[in-house]
Amino acid sequence: MSHLLLLMWATLVALQSFFLILVWGVGLGRFLKPRVPKSFRAEALRTYPKASLIIPLTGRTPDMEAALHSFLRQDYPNLETILVTSGEADPAHDLADELER
């Protein structure tokens, strides 16, 4: 009796493994996933939520300038960048003015 149970268990494990390899390894798993209508996906790609990037600045260093230029090169279509300085006496204020142009 125990040999029969062991054989049944081994067969079940082998079938499960085969199914997993067939479904996920071959790529048939995409048919089991819920489908999203193409119109919904296209609309989601056209609309981007607004993102605001708030950067506090104090002083002025070459690293800061490089980081700011990197932030400004982002290609996210609805991105707002806000630079906050401590006032006109702060060297970072001049940098913010330069980047605004």
Label the pairing between strands 51-56 and 79-84: parallel
Q: Is 88 left (phi over 0), alpha (psi -120 to 50) or beta?
A: alpha
pLDDT at 94: 77
Among 69, 64, 91, which Cα is nearest to 81's? 69
Q: Where are the domains of the chain?
A: 1-33, 48-101
Sites in the chain below the pLDDT cut of 50: none
pLDDT at 36: 60
The pTM assigned to this predicted structure is: 0.46
pLDDT at 47: 74
Q: At which residue do the structure tokens 């049944």 appear?
A: 8
CA distance 34 to 8: 33
pLDDT at 97: 77
